[in-house]
Amino acid sequence: TVLDGWERSAQEWQDECKHRKDGQARKVCSFAWVSNRLTQMGTVQQVEDLIFPLITSNDGWIVDGVGNSGDWLDKVGLEATKANARFVLQHTNGMGIPHVVKAAGGSKIDARHGDHVDDGSESAAEVRHMVIIALHSYGSKWEGSKLEVKVRNKNKDANTASANKEMAFHLEGHHRSRTSILVPYKFDLAGAARLKPGETLEADFELVGGSAFKILGLAFCSR
């Protein structure tokens, strides 16, 4: 099924977020979240505990979804509730969220990257890409849905060219097909927008078209 196929893809993506080099675990993704059964991030509370500590301001976005249906509209994610909804988050490369959330069955999940806790040594890689998993849906609610994401490296000084320090990306939330699907967007953080270990990224998410949008995954990765 489409659901099973997506979950296999999500597992492959999650596995890609860590690899070993010279006996040392190096995170490919300094942060990665996707809502599905494999990552076991399937409740509103789990996603709120993971995402809200990163958010510095929020107007019109909530974590919503029932999480127990095969319909992507019901999957737990960040959802815009009005036109011009906006939130801003900050993420420091190599600095995870300082708590662990519990998955179904009581197993622990590392809240920094949505995977099970690994006690091996780890080191941060340069963040070169941002991945957003967005819902594409149909009908009047989703008509004209468009999200703008502005990303900047907060560690670059005033002398850094603004064109290299800040980047803007656009995502669609509506399509004509009579089904809802998930679409992964992978954006290259070129030049000064890239994050070296210890540097902080600020991402500004604003709904610039329509009145609905839903995000079901987010990652900051080196490749």
Distances (CA, A) of 74 to 35, 88, 194: 11, 24, 34
Average pLDDT of 12-17?
Answer: 52
Decide: 115 and 108 in contact? Cβ < 8 Å.
Answer: no
User: What pLDDT digit, counting tens, does each position of 80-119 carry?
Assistant: 999 999 999 999 998 654 333 333 333 333 333 333 333 3
The C-alpha angle 131, 40, 92, rounded to 5 degrees, equals: 40
Q: Residue 192 — pLDDT band, cuts 50, 70, 90? A: confident
Q: Rounded CA gap, 193 and 164, in Å?
A: 6
The pTM for the full model equals 0.76
Q: Examine the pLDDT at 148 and tell me if it is beyond 70.
A: yes
